[in-house]
Structure 1
Amino acid sequence: MSRIGTKLLLEQLSYKTISNSSIPKASLPFLRPFSQAPQRPAENTPASSSNSSPSFQPKADSTPLSVDRRSSVARDSQATGSLAKLGNIFSQHSQQSAFDLNPNDTSLSSTRATQEEPHHFHIYSTRHNTHITLTNPDRTPIISLSCGNIGFRKAGRKTYDSAFQLASYVMGRITEQGIHLQIKKLELVLRGFGQGREAVTKALMGSEGRFLRGKVVRVQDATRLKFGGTRSKKPRRLG
């Protein structure tokens, strides 16, 4: 080996030793892995002493919990007790009412139905005639007349005038016989779409029905609508 080669080798070795010795050894203990880093406390967490462990809990904190538990248990027991009392009262009342009532006694139900049910004023209007019927609350008829009973014959029974005269005659008889004094409530029952439907309604709203108009409490349409059934009659062709 030549002198120049040995000189270069010595210079490289000396440079390595100088670079290694320039790093301070005091900085090595401050280098630690991330898993061993201490945990930062939260901002709102109170500072605890070094002697107390985080899992330690004083006995004073357990007393309010036990008191709350006892109060909740007492409340639940009171609620269940009150519900049981209500259930007993209801069962006793139902048994007493069941023993007191007689299934064969219909006087109470009949009087209640009579008080609640009004009289009925039926208007049955067809294409060929008009029928008017006044019934009691128990559906027994008082007056039942049609256009044929007051002198109209054949085609004259289906007209508007005949239905209006029929309504005037029926309401006049109700007033003359004093039946309107017995009527407290009146239900108007309409059936059919003939001309008498509008004629009787006009008579009831006019001077002829002044004694019955204010007693109407309900209006019912009892027109029967066909749904299915047998085949209809062939329509009549004129001309």
Structure 2
Amino acid sequence: MTPSTTRLLARTTSKFSSLYHRPDQQCIRAFSRTCLRQQDEKPPAPTPSLLTKLALDSRLRPGQAQKNTAQSNMSDIKNILAQNTISRVLGQTSSSSESILSGPSGDTEDLGPAHEPFHFHIYAHKHNTHITVTKPNRGAIVSLSAGNIGFKKSKRGSYDAAFQLCAYVLDKLNQGGWHRKITALEVVLRGFGAGREAATKVLLGNEGRLLRPLIKRVSDSTRLKFGGTRSPRPRRLG
């Protein structure tokens, strides 16, 4: 290697060393202390703005309003029950309890024409007994058969089943307060089963004491056949 080449390499090395000059230890220590100080110093929590507060209030208001509404409804119900209890003790009927029974609007139910009576239908055949109580507008109040109160198979057509069925229907009507709403009652009999006489006994007995004064007419709507198809052969036992 010639002296000129050696001098050229020395100049080049000095240039690169000046470009990639490493900082001294004091600079590194000072830089690290600054970073640690910045990490230790946490920024203060931002204060919620007015819009954020309004948004939170709007989120909380519906639930709070529902809670307040439920509390007010419970207090109203308690007041109504207390007034109803006091009126029962005094033998009076409170207007608040009447408004609850009549509905939210306070309008009475349209039962139908005033000249039409209520109907007590008794359909008794040899297999079962059906009782239906209807309003003057022909809407059914209660409709039950002996099978609905627990009688099965051949027991549904018995006298005892019809007796218990009619007593159950009258008890349901009395519990619903229909003996106060019924002004006139028509008993409609159909069929010649055991339930025909049983229902008549119940209406004339102690169970029908509230509805018996309201009965204005008793009619029979048993179907009669004029000619028609041939009847089945009579059943022969023994």
TM-score, normalised by the number of residues in structure 1: 0.52
Aligned pairs for 1:128-139 (under 5 A) are 128-139=127-138
Within 2, Cα distance between the matches of 1:166 and 1:124?
A: 12
SS of 1:187 mapped into structure 2: strand
Deviations 1:182-206 (A, max 9, x none): 1000000000011100100100011
Q: Post-superposition, which runs of at least 4 consecutive aligned residues in structure 1 deviate over 6 A?
A: none
1:236 CA drift (Å): 2.0
Within 2, Cα distance between the matches of 1:126 and 1:136?
A: 24
1:221 CA drift (Å): 0.5
1:238 CA drift (Å): 2.2
SS of 2:114 mapped into structure 1: helix
Deviations 1:60-112 (A, max 9, x none): xxxxxxxxxxxxxxxxxxxxxxxxxxxxxxxxxxxxxxxxxxxxxxxxxxx9x
Is 1:160–2:159 an aligned residue pair?
Answer: yes
Letter in 2 for 1:130: T
SS of 1:148 mapped into structure 2: helix
1:237 CA drift (Å): 2.3
Is 1:178–2:177 an aligned residue pair?
Answer: yes
Match of 1:225 in 2: 224
Is 1:145–2:144 an aligned residue pair?
Answer: yes
Match of 1:61 in 2: none
Within 1, Cα distance between the matches of 2:231 and 2:139?
A: 33
Letter in 2 for 1:128: H
1:177 CA drift (Å): 1.1
Within 2, Cα distance between the matches of 1:178 and 1:155?
A: 34
SS of 1:132 mapped into structure 2: strand
Say what the alpha-carbon RMSD is for the aligned residues.
1.3
Within 2, Cα distance between the matches of 1:194 and 1:228?
A: 22
Match of 2:187 in 1: 188
Within 2, Cα distance between the matches of 1:120 and 1:139?
A: 8
Match of 2:198 in 1: 199
For structure 2, the residue ranges without an aligned partner over 5 or more in a row are 1-109
Is 1:116–2:95 an aligned residue pair?
Answer: no
Within 2, Cα distance between the matches of 1:199 and 1:189?
A: 14
1:139 CA drift (Å): 1.3
Whose radius of gyration is greater, 1 or 2?
1
Letter in 2 for 1:161: D
Within 1, Cα distance between the matches of 2:131 and 2:144?
A: 6
How many residues in Structure 1 have an aligned counterpart in Structure 2? 128
Letter in 2 for 1:179: W
1:147 CA drift (Å): 0.4
Letter in 2 for 1:127: K
TM-score, normalised by the number of residues in structure 2: 0.52
Deviations 1:132-191 (A, max 9, x none): 000011211110001000000011111111111001100000001112211000000000
Q: Percent identity?
A: 60
Within 2, Cα distance between the matches of 1:205 and 1:130?
A: 18
Letter in 2 for 1:235: P
1:128 CA drift (Å): 1.0
